[in-house]
Structure 1
Amino acid sequence: MFKLNTLTAAIMAALCGNALALDDPLALELTEEDSTELRTLATPTPVTSGATLVKAAPTAAERTARAYQGWLNQINKPYANQLASGNGTGVTVGVVDSGLQVSHPALRGRVQATYNAFTGGTDVTDQMGHGTHVSGIIAGSTTSGGLLEGVAPGAKLVMAKVFTTGSSSSVTIGKGIDWVVNVQKAPILSLSLGSSAAAMQSNIQNAVTKGTLITAALGNDGRASGSWPAAFAKASWAKGQIIAVGALDANNRRASFSNYDPTLANWTVFAPGVNVASSYSTPYAQNSYAYMSGTSMATPVVAGQAALIKSNWNFLPATDIAQIIFQSATHLCSDPVSAAVCAARKTPDSMYGWGLVNVGASLQPIGNLNVGTKTGAKVNFAGSSLASSKAGLASGLKGTKTLAVDKFNRAFVVYLSSAVSSSTVKTSATPTAAASTVSANGVKFSAEYAESTLVQNLWSNTEATSSNKLGKMSYSFSNDRGTSYGFGTGGTAASFFGLQSTGFAPLSLNGEGSRFSAPYFELAESATHFGYGSTLKNGTIVRFGMVSQNSANASSLLNLSAPVIARSLATMELQKNFGDVTGIMTIGRLQEDNSVLGMTGSGALGLGARASTSFVTLAGSVPIAPKSHFSAMATLGRTAAYENASSSLIDGASASSSMAWSLGLARQDILRDGDQLGFTLSMPLKTTSGSMQVTTAVAQSQEDGSLQYATQSLNLRPTGTQRDLELAYSTPMRLGGRLTALAQVKLQPGHDASAPTQFGLGVRYVHGF
C-alpha cells in the first residue's frame, strides 16, 4: 500500500492554525520592515544563463512571498523576476498526487491537464490539500494574485489524482504515472509518495525509457533506508534518471522524520521539508496556504529546480539534468568536519548524498567554459587572451560577446572584454638597473642589468621573477672610412637606427627616446639587431639592418603550450646632413608570426597568422638656437590582409593602415655645463583604417544544443587618440654619472577614448665607466 509522505500532525497544525485564506488579515500584515531579513540573490558575472539572468529587482509580490517562504532563500533560488523566460516557461511537470484546486490563485493558469485515475475523468478536486501544496511548491505564482510562489512559477502542471485518502493502490498510482508519461509526455515527474515494498517497477521503468526525470520522496520513517519508488534509483535500468529526495530543517540538518539511505547516496539530494509554506486546498479550506512538513515537500522542490534547468536548456536529457542538480548541490556532511572540509569533498555523503540543492548554482556553469568556434572546435575560455598592441587593434573586441558552453553543453554569454588586455607584459615596479657605457675610438658599448623583473604570462596566468640578468646590450663601431657596424640585444635597435642614434633626439628617462625612430622596431620586443652602415661620396649614410625576435625572448617561454611568437624586420635607412639639418628616411618590412602589429592571442582569441607590414619613416633635427634643437618624426605603415589559421573567433582582417608622429625640443647647458632638457609631444603608433572579421556563437538550438554563428566586421580604428607629453631633465653629478628626472602625461592611453589620463614621475641615475 502506498501512502503520501507528509506528516499528519503537520497537516492538522496547518488546518488548525497556519492556513491563510486570501481574505485572512494575517495575509495583509506584512510590511517592508518584515522583509529586511530576506537575502537578495546577486546576479552572477561575467556570465549569464542561456535564458539571460537579468539584473531586475524582485517585485513587491515576490518579497511578500519570501517573508513566508524562507525555504526559497535556503535553496538559493533567484527571484522569478530575475529569471525572465527561464523561470520554467515551456516545461511541463507531472504530479501524481491527491489532486489540486485548479482555480487556486497561486495555481491559476498553471494547470495544463488533469486526470482522475479512479474514474478516468478530469475531476481532480483535492480533498486532502496535499496535491495542491506540492503543486504550489513546483509552480506556484504570484502573477495572478497568489500570495506564495513556487520554484518554477512559469512551468505548467499536469495532475493525476491517485489519492482520496492517505493511501492508495499501486495499480491506481501506476495508471497516473502512465498518463503523465505516455499521454502528457511530461519530461519531469514528481512523486511525493512511497511504500515499504517495491511496486510499480514496470511503470517507473517505462518512464525511464521515455526519458523522464523522476524525483521521488525517501519517506518519513526516520530510518536508514529509502522507500520505493525512490529506492529504484540505484537500479542499473534507472540510468541515473531517478533522484531520491530527503528533507532538511531550516538549519540544513536532516529532519528527524526523514529517511536516508547510504546505498542511494549517489542519487540522493536533500531539500527543505520542515514547515514549508505553499498553496493549500480542501473542500473546507479553498484558496488557502499552509505550512506542511515531510519529504513530500522536499521532493517537488527538486522537480521545480529541474524545470528551471530544462526551461533554460530544453535539449538536456534527464541524465544530464540530474547530474547538474547533483554537482551543483551544497555539500552537507554527517560526520563532524569543518564547513571548508565538507565543501571540498567531491563524493556524496552517506546520509546527505550530494547535499542541499542549490538552484542558483545549477543555473551557472559547471566545469570549464568552452567557446565554440565556427569550425566546431571548443576552446577553453579561461585559457583565452588577447594582448592588444600599442596601436589599439583589440579595441573593437571589448564590446563583443559570444556563447560558451560548460561540461553539459549549456550555453552562457561571455564578454570578450574580460580576456582582452592592453599589453603582453606587466611589471610590478620600475626595475632597478645598473648601466655602463663606453665611447672611445669609434666604439660605443652599453649594458644594462635588471635587478628585479616581474613578468606576467597571460596564457598561463603565472608570474616568473628573474633577477640580476642582462637586460639590454648594444655595441657599435665606426671607422674613419665611414663604415659602421652595430648589434645588440634587448630591443636596443634605436642605438644604431633612427634619429636617436645621431644624438639629436630629445632625451627620455624610460627608453622611449626611440619614438624618434620608426616605432615598428619597438614591436619586436627584446629583439636582437644587426646593422651595417656605409658613407657614400656625397656624404649620405646608408644603413642596412635586421631585427629579430622569437619565443625565446617572449614571456610565452614560460608556457610551452603558448603560440610561438616570431618577428623579424628588414630595413634600409638613408641619413643626409644639409648643413646643420639632419634628415633620415627609413623604409622597412616587419614580418610577424602569430602576431599582428604586436597583438598576440591564445585560445579562443588565438592568432595563427603571418602578418606583413611595410612602412616608411621620416625624421629630422634642426638647430633653432645655440645648443637647442627641434626634432620631428612621422611614419606610415600598411599591414596586408591576413587569414587566421587558428581555431579562433578571429577569422582574419582586411588590409590596415597605421601611423605615428613625434615632436621634440632639446636644450643643453641650461643651468650648468653638461645638463640637458628635453620636451616631447607624440602620438604613439595608431591603427587608422582596416577591419577585423570575427565569428561568434549567437544562439543555441533548444532542440539539439548546437550553436549558431554569425560573422561581424569590427572597425580596427580605436576610439581615441593617445598623446604623450614628456619633460625630462638630466644633469651630471659631482661624483660622476648623470641624474635624470622625468614627468610624463598620457592622454587617452591605449587610444581608448574612455581611458583615464595617466601621470608618471621618475628619477634615474646612470654612472659611466
Structure 2
Amino acid sequence: MTEVRYADFETTTALQTSRRMRRGGPPLDASATTKENASVTTTTVRLIDSEEANTIRRAGRQLLRVPKMPVRLIPQVAQGLNAGEGQAWGIAAVGAGQLGLAGEGVCVAVLDTGIDPKHPAFDGLISERNYKDFTGTGLVDSVGHGTHCAGIIFGRTVNDERIGLATGVTSVLIGKIADRNFTTTTDQLQQALNWAVNSGADVISLSVGLDFLGHASALRDAGLPQDAALVAALNDYRDYTRFFDRLIGQVVSAGAASRSALVVAAAGNDSHGDSQPPYRIGATLPAVAEKVLSVGAVSKGVGDLFDLAPFSNTGVDLCAPGVAIRSALPGGRYGAMTGTSQAAPHVAALATLWWQKVRNDRATRPDPDYVRSMMLGAAMPKRISGEHGFEEIGGGLAQAPV
C-alpha cells in the first residue's frame, strides 16, 4: 500500500530590512543602495506522520495528504530525427546572446542525475558546496542526463565550440535526484526543491515526471486488484497534485526579501504524433503544476520554421529546441540527446537571461511570476509549422529578450 504522510504548512510574518539597488545594475558599494523595510511572509512545510497529524487536526488545523509516489527521469528519445552528433542549434533558434545578456548574477539550479564536475565546460563552477546528492549514490553522473542538461544552460565555450545559452552564469546549484539504479520518489523531489530555493536559486530546471503507471503497477504487485489499484493510484495522484501545487506556490511566492524561484519542467516524451492514428499524451507533474513553466520540444524545420516534435506531450506553456541537441557528456565528451529534457534547459537558460534583464531594468530582484509573464508574451507561435492548439505549443517558440 501507499506510504502516506501529511503536510503542515506554517506561515509566519516578520519585518525585514532589504537593500534596493539603484537603477543601472548591481551596486558597487554600500553607498549605491537604499534601505527598505518590508513585511515578509514565510511559509514552511513539515511532513508529519499520521499520529502527529491526528493531534493537529483535533486542534482545528487543516493538513494535506501526501502519498509517496515514484518519480522517473524522463526517458530520452532515440536519435531518429535530425540524427547524428547534432549541433547546439538551439542557441540561434531562440535568439540567445542578444543585448549582451549572459546570465551574470543569476543563480540556476539543475535537479537531475548530477553532473561531471571535471568537464571543461564547467571549469571552476562545481564543488561540494553547490553539488548535493539526494540519492545516496554519490556525486557522480552515471547517466549523463544531468551533465547534458547543465551544458545547455551554462556550459562554457571550449575550443571555440559553444554549447550553453547563458554562459555568464557563475552561481549554480546541482541537485542529484535520479540515478540509473535508484528509484526516485516524491520525497527526493520535494527535498531538492526546498534545498534549491533555500540556497538562493532564481531559476530551477527539472526533467523528471511523476510515474503514475509505475505507481499503479506497484499497488497491483502489493496485492490490489487491477481496478482497485488504478483507483488508488488516481486518488494518490490527485492528493499529491494538491500538495505539489501548494508547494510550488510557496517556491514561486514573491516578496521584497522572500526566497522564490521560477521553476521550469519538461513536459515529457510519451506522445506519438507521427503514428497512425497520431495521438498525444498530456504532461504530468511537475510540469502541469500551477506556475511551473511546462516545456515542449521542436525540431529544425524548413527555412526559419520549426516542427513540433512527434514525441512532445501536451499541456505546455512554451516550446524550445529538443531534437539532436549537442551538449556536454561525462568524461569530457560531447554528444547529442533528444527529448523535452533538452527543451526544458533551453527555457531555463532563457529564464536566466530574462531574469537578468528584468533585474537590470527595474533595479530590484525580479518576481518569478513577472519573469514568467514576460517570457510567455515574447514567445512566437508562428515560428512553429502546422496547425497546433495552445495545449500543444503553448505560447509558441521561446525567445531571448531583445
Normalised TM-score (structure 1): 0.34
Give the aligned partner of residue 151 of structure 1: 165
Secondary structure of 2:320 counterpart? strand
Tell me if the contact between 1:139 and 1:150 (Cα under 8 Å) persists in the aligned partners: yes
Tell me if the contact between 1:215 and 1:299 (Cα under 8 Å) persists in the aligned partners: yes
Question: Where in structure 2 are the equivalents of 1:507-546 lying within 5 Å?
Answer: none
Tell me if the contact between 1:332 and 1:354 (Cα under 8 Å) persists in the aligned partners: no
CA-CA distance at 1:196 after TM superposition: 4.5
CA-CA distance at 1:10 after TM superposition: 4.2
Q: Relative to structure 1, is the Cα distance of residues 107 and 146 closer, same or farther in structure 2, using a 3 angstrom cutoff?
A: farther
Q: Relative to structure 1, is the Cα distance of residues 353 and 333 closer, same or farther in structure 2, using a 3 angstrom cutoff?
A: farther
Normalised TM-score (structure 2): 0.63
Matches of 1:109 and 1:6, distance apart in 2: 30
Give the aligned partner of residue 78 of structure 1: 97
Residue type matched to 1:298 in 2?
Answer: A
Matches of 1:75 and 1:334, distance apart in 2: 12
Point out the structure with max Rg over C-alpha. Answer: 1
Give the aligned partner of residue 204 of structure 1: 248
Q: Relative to structure 1, is the Cα distance of residues 196 and 332 closer, same or farther in structure 2, using a 3 angstrom cutoff?
A: farther
Q: Is 1:170 the counterpart of 2:186 in the alignment?
A: yes
Residue among 277, 302, 325 paired with 1:276 = 325
RMSD between superposed Cα atoms in Å: 2.8
Residue among 173, 181, 189 paired with 2:197 = 181
Residue among 307, 310, 319 paired with 1:253 = 307
Tell me if the contact between 1:272 and 1:298 (Cα under 8 Å) persists in the aligned partners: yes
Tell me if the contact between 1:220 and 1:257 (Cα under 8 Å) persists in the aligned partners: yes
Residue type matched to 2:289 in 1?
Answer: F
Greater helix share, structure number: 2
Q: Is 1:127 the counterpart of 2:142 in the alignment?
A: yes
**Alignment coverage as a number of residue pairs:** 277
Q: Relative to structure 1, is the Cα distance of residues 244 and 109 closer, same or farther in structure 2, using a 3 angstrom cutoff?
A: same
Matches of 1:7 and 1:130, distance apart in 2: 9
Residue among 73, 83, 87 paired with 1:68 = 87
Tell me if the contact between 1:110 and 1:139 (Cα under 8 Å) persists in the aligned partners: no
Give the aligned partner of residue 543 of structure 1: none
CA-CA distance at 1:206 after TM superposition: 3.2
Q: Relative to structure 1, is the Cα distance of residues 328 and 163 closer, same or farther in structure 2, using a 3 angstrom cutoff?
A: same
Secondary structure of 1:87 counterpart? coil
Give the aligned partner of residue 54 of structure 2: none
CA-CA distance at 1:208 after TM superposition: 2.2
Structure 1 segments unaligned to the other structure (5+ residues): 19-66, 234-240, 343-347, 365-769
Residue type matched to 1:310 in 2?
Answer: W
Residue type matched to 1:355 in 2?
Answer: G
Q: Is 1:220 the counterpart of 2:220 in the alignment?
A: no
Secondary structure of 1:2 counterpart? strand
Give the aligned partner of residue 600 of structure 1: none
Greater strand share, structure number: 1
Question: Where in structure 2 are the equivalents of 1:366-765 lying within 5 Å?
Answer: none
Residue type matched to 2:161 in 1?
Answer: L
Matches of 1:335 and 1:149, distance apart in 2: 25
Structure with bigger RCO (C-alpha 8 Å, 6+ apart) = 2
Tell me if the contact between 2:262 and 2:369 (Cα under 8 Å) persists in the aligned partners: yes
Q: Relative to structure 1, is the Cα distance of residues 169 and 316 closer, same or farther in structure 2, using a 3 angstrom cutoff?
A: same
Q: Relative to structure 1, is the Cα distance of residues 179 and 351 closer, same or farther in structure 2, using a 3 angstrom cutoff?
A: same
Tell me if the contact between 1:219 and 1:295 (Cα under 8 Å) persists in the aligned partners: yes
Matches of 1:310 and 1:152, distance apart in 2: 11
Structure 2 segments unaligned to the other structure (5+ residues): 1-69, 213-236, 254-258, 272-279, 360-364
Secondary structure of 1:245 counterpart? strand
Matches of 1:336 and 1:288, distance apart in 2: 36
Deviations 1:651-704 (A, max 9, x none): xxxxxxxxxxxxxxxxxxxxxxxxxxxxxxxxxxxxxxxxxxxxxxxxxxxxxx
Identical residues among aligned pairs (%): 27
Secondary structure of 1:94 counterpart? strand
Q: Is 1:356 the counterpart of 2:397 in the alignment?
A: yes
Tell me if the contact between 1:68 and 1:277 (Cα under 8 Å) persists in the aligned partners: yes
Matches of 1:93 and 1:297, distance apart in 2: 16
Q: Relative to structure 1, is the Cα distance of residues 179 and 336 closer, same or farther in structure 2, using a 3 angstrom cutoff?
A: closer
Give the aligned partner of residue 294 of structure 1: 339
Q: Is 1:193 the counterpart of 2:243 in the alignment?
A: no
Q: Relative to structure 1, is the Cα distance of residues 71 and 175 closer, same or farther in structure 2, using a 3 angstrom cutoff?
A: same
Tell me if the contact between 2:252 and 2:369 (Cα under 8 Å) persists in the aligned partners: no
Q: Relative to structure 1, is the Cα distance of residues 141 and 162 closer, same or farther in structure 2, using a 3 angstrom cutoff?
A: same
Q: Relative to structure 1, is the Cα distance of residues 110 and 154 closer, same or farther in structure 2, using a 3 angstrom cutoff?
A: farther
Secondary structure of 2:312 counterpart? coil
